[in-house]
Structure 1
């Protein structure tokens, strides 16, 4: 096959974006091009491949069986290209180039600023591209080769992805003194008042980790109302509505500053979540990932 018949990587990226979004307008926005540019590129791609990838009418479209197979191979091709770029970046030295890092909302605001500041000093040739999202979404992005490395709270089902635990992030009881003074000395377990604990919505893994670590399973300790962020929980605690369990990482970074709320350690510091790295086993940048992990451990494991 001559070079003129080979589709460009850009056209393949457009195709993958269209398959992911199932909408021309959204796919074009994801690729930062006009809808007409994307549509023309897909038509040119079909001519180059000499097959019909999608069936269209005036209002809708769907991928043909052949088109679905083309998408599968496109994902493999783009993943190999990403690995090639990562490999060549590593050949010029560790801690250089660009790495995309995903982080969950209950970690990102407290870890990423310190990590960026440290990397700017230690690794000036390294650029971190940041994405904040839920655990579920970040794992999908990692598996789709759209992000390089994740910093997550563990345990979590990561399938065949690679995982390295970095440090423990203790849970602490948070609330107005009038609310948490009657709590048991341990701060956890069956003696916690019923419906007294407010947590985040279910898509935040922090809630599951808190329920498990603070021994709240199988009871009525958790209030049915849930919040969307730790900052929202702070405002609820200020109204003396109840108490909550916050990660020490957030408290150390001043989330309670300027409020009358207090935080208290839990019995034996045995209630915690683990903070770790998650990456694809095929990566060529393992050395860089491990060095980033050591940097994170240095910043937080000693806190």
Structure 2
């Protein structure tokens, strides 16, 4: 009978990959360093090839080691989903749900979502994490998150998703600049390098540029902000204009006498908001109930 690696060995390997330090990995796995090292050595023996190159100063994962880490994460996530099956007969709206949300949605939705969940499902506890789309999707695949709230479309690589609403884009422009353009607004009326956007790590940049049909790259300022609040502050100081989602405006982000809110050129521009989860999860009923609440809030 063939021998198979244990989940514990796979957990050791993944943790070592994330920490790149045997001592820290052992600490996070609550074992001694020798136990962790021995477990990984046994894993290499079972796989039949070297996964890690070791020396006194550093460790490097081999190409095979990198692939084994990817598959180990998938197995660990699927195992976690399997363990949730034991709770499938219990109240789906009880227990903990680890929910991730991107920074251009989280400040304007999560507070209301938590209050709504507390009222309707007091036994359900949301553990929240705000991060970029790429980081959250990685955490979801690895089993570190249960469900995400993202702006779509985005590549979700086999995950399941459910659209819960649309969030229109508005153009926020300084009062000074607004006095020099005609309505409806045309991008050709704007000075070069006068449109400010978020850093590329934020998917809102791509969604806004695409939805609002901004094709003139010379209109975009090379400076990239880290948050919507920074964008609004720059525009309010007369530096140009930017795109802001309606949910942010609804929550007062653009409440400033030095700002003017206009519809962007072209047809109605918006981003879709959706929930994303692993197809192997047993908490689909929970996620669909959350989706209903988010739809109402949007």
Query: Aligning the two structures, in what range does the TM-score lie when normalised by the shorter sequence?
Result: 0.7 to 0.9
Residue 236 (1) aligns with residue 203 (2): no
Partner SS state of residue 275, structure 1: strand
| Cα deviation digits, residues 75-118 of structure 1 (max 9, x gap) | 34422321123222332121121111111111111111111111
Native 8 Å contact 1:83 1:283 kept in 2? yes
Q: Which moved more, 1:223-232 or 1:19-28?
A: 19-28
CA shift at 1:28, angstroms? 5.8
Q: Which moved more, 1:52-61 or 1:251-260?
A: 52-61
- Show structure 1 runs of 5+ residues with no match: none
Residue 149 (structure 1) aligns with? 147
Rounded to whole Å, the distance in 2 between the matches of 1:187 and 1:41 is 66
Q: CA RMSD in A?
A: 2.9
Rounded to whole Å, the distance in 1 between the matches of 2:247 and 2:144 is 28
Output aligned runs, 1:42-191, within 5 Å. 42-46=36-40, 51=45, 54-63=52-61, 71=69, 74-187=72-185, 189-191=187-189
TM-score by length of 1: 0.84
Partner SS state of residue 274, structure 1: strand
Native 8 Å contact 2:74 2:141 kept in 1? no
Residue 40 (1) aligns with residue 34 (2): yes
Residue 284 (structure 1) aligns with? 282
Residue 204 (structure 1) aligns with? 202
| Cα deviation digits, residues 158-187 of structure 1 (max 9, x gap) | 222222211111111213211223333233
In structure 2, do the counterparts of structure 1 residues 38 and 62 end up closer, same or farther at CA, with 3 Å as the change threshold? farther
In structure 2, do the counterparts of structure 1 residues 254 and 38 end up closer, same or farther at CA, with 3 Å as the change threshold? farther
In structure 2, do the counterparts of structure 1 residues 25 and 173 end up closer, same or farther at CA, with 3 Å as the change threshold? farther
In structure 2, do the counterparts of structure 1 residues 65 and 257 end up closer, same or farther at CA, with 3 Å as the change threshold? closer
Q: Which moved more, 1:77-86 or 1:208-217?
A: 77-86
CA shift at 1:122, angstroms? 0.8
Rounded to whole Å, the distance in 1 between the matches of 2:32 and 2:296 is 46
In structure 2, do the counterparts of structure 1 residues 113 and 46 end up closer, same or farther at CA, with 3 Å as the change threshold? same
| Cα deviation digits, residues 188-224 of structure 1 (max 9, x gap) | 5444443221111111111111111111114422112
In structure 2, do the counterparts of structure 1 residues 235 and 26 end up closer, same or farther at CA, with 3 Å as the change threshold? farther
Rounded to whole Å, the distance in 1 between the matches of 2:21 and 2:186 is 48
Partner SS state of residue 91, structure 1: coil
- Show structure 2 runs of 5+ residues with no match: none
Rounded to whole Å, the distance in 1 between the matches of 2:181 and 2:24 is 50
In structure 2, do the counterparts of structure 1 residues 232 and 124 end up closer, same or farther at CA, with 3 Å as the change threshold? same
Residue 243 (structure 2) aligns with? 245
Residue 272 (structure 1) aligns with? 270
Rounded to whole Å, the distance in 1 between the matches of 2:252 and 2:128 is 22
Partner SS state of residue 86, structure 1: helix
In structure 2, do the counterparts of structure 1 residues 91 and 234 end up closer, same or farther at CA, with 3 Å as the change threshold? same
In structure 2, do the counterparts of structure 1 residues 293 and 188 end up closer, same or farther at CA, with 3 Å as the change threshold? farther
Native 8 Å contact 2:74 2:142 kept in 1? no
Native 8 Å contact 1:185 1:267 kept in 2? no
